[in-house]
Amino acid sequence: MSETERQNQPHAVVTGGSGFVGSHLVERLLDDGFRVTTLDNYSSGRQENLKHIDDPSLEQVTHDVRDPFPDFDAVDQLYHFASRASPTDFEDYSIQIAMTNSLGARNAFEWALEYDATVVLASTSEVYGNPKTHPQTESYNGNVNIRGIRAPYDEGKRFSEALARAYIEQTDIDIRTVRIFNTYGPQMRPSDGRVIPTFLDQALSGKDLTIHGDGQQTRTFCYVSDLVEGVRRIAETDAMAGDVLNLGHTNEITIEELGETVVDIVDSSSTLTYESRPKDDPDLRQPDISKAKEILDWEPTVDLGTGIRKTVEHFADQRDGDEQTAQVTDN
DSSP 251-308: --EEHHHHHHHHHHHHT----EEEEPPPTT--S---B--HHHHHHH-------HHHHH
Tell me the β-bridge partners of 60.
38
Query: What's the pLDDT band for 300 if we cut at 50, 70, 90?
Result: very high
Q: Is residue 12 part of a domain?
A: yes
**Catalytic residue flag (residue 115):** no
Residue 329: count of CB within 10 angstroms of its CB: 7
Query: What's the pLDDT band for 1 if we cut at 50, 70, 90?
Result: low
What's the chain's Rg over C-alpha atoms?
Answer: 20
Assign residue 196 a region: left if phi > 0, alpha if psi is -120 to 50, beta otherwise? alpha
Q: How many CA atoms lie within 13 A of 254 on its CB side?
A: 10
Expressed as residue numbers, the domain containing 132 is: 3-186+222-250+283-302
Q: Is residue 177 part of a domain?
A: yes
Q: Is residue 34 part of a domain?
A: yes
CA distance 164 to 306: 36
State pLDDT tens for residues 72-105: 999 999 999 999 998 889 989 999 999 999 999 9
C-alpha 48, offset from chain centre: 17
Q: Is residue 166 part of a domain?
A: yes
Query: What's the pLDDT band for 4 if we cut at 50, 70, 90?
Result: low
Question: Which pLDDT score, from 0 to 100, does residue 330 have?
Answer: 39
Q: Is residue 325 part of a domain?
A: no
State pLDDT tens for residues 250-276: 999 999 999 999 999 999 999 999 999
Query: What's the pLDDT band for 6 if we cut at 50, 70, 90?
Result: low
State pLDDT tens for residues 158-196: 999 999 999 999 999 999 999 999 999 999 988 888 999
Question: Which pLDDT score, from 0 to 100, does residue 83 have?
Answer: 96
Give me the catalytic one of 79, 93, 153, 167: 153
Q: What is the mean pLDDT of the chain?
A: 93
Q: Is residue 320 part of a domain?
A: no
Question: Which pLDDT score, from 0 to 100, does residue 328 have?
Answer: 31
Average pLDDT over residues 1-10: 73
Helix (H) or strand (E) run with residue 24 in it: helix 20-31
Q: Does the pLDDT value for residue 108 go beyond 60?
A: yes
Q: Is residue 66 part of a domain?
A: yes
Residue 297: count of CB within 10 angstroms of its CB: 9
The answer to whether 187 and 24 have CB atoms below 8 angstroms apart is yes
Question: Which pLDDT score, from 0 to 100, does residue 331 have?
Answer: 34
Q: Could you give the number of structural domains in the chain?
A: 1
Which one-letter amino acid corresponds to residue 310? Answer: K
Q: At what angle do helices 103-115 and 151-170 cross, to 10 degrees?
A: 30
- What is the pTM (predicted TM-score) of this model? 0.94
Question: DSSP string spanning 58-109?
Answer: EEEEE--TTSPPPP-S--SEEEE--S---GGGTTTTHHHHHHHTTHHHHHHH
Question: Which pLDDT score, from 0 to 100, does residue 3 have?
Answer: 67
Specify the DSSP class assigned to residue 207: P
State pLDDT tens for residues 208-236: 999 999 999 999 999 999 999 999 999 99
Q: Is residue 329 part of a domain?
A: no
Question: Which pLDDT score, from 0 to 100, does residue 242 have?
Answer: 97
Q: At what angle do helices 195-204 and 304-330 cross, to 10 degrees?
A: 60
- CATH code, domain carrying 147: 3.40.50.720
* Strand 175-180 versus strand 244-247 pairing type: parallel
Query: What's the pLDDT band for 320 if we cut at 50, 70, 90?
Result: low
Q: Does the pLDDT value for residue 326 go beyond 60?
A: no
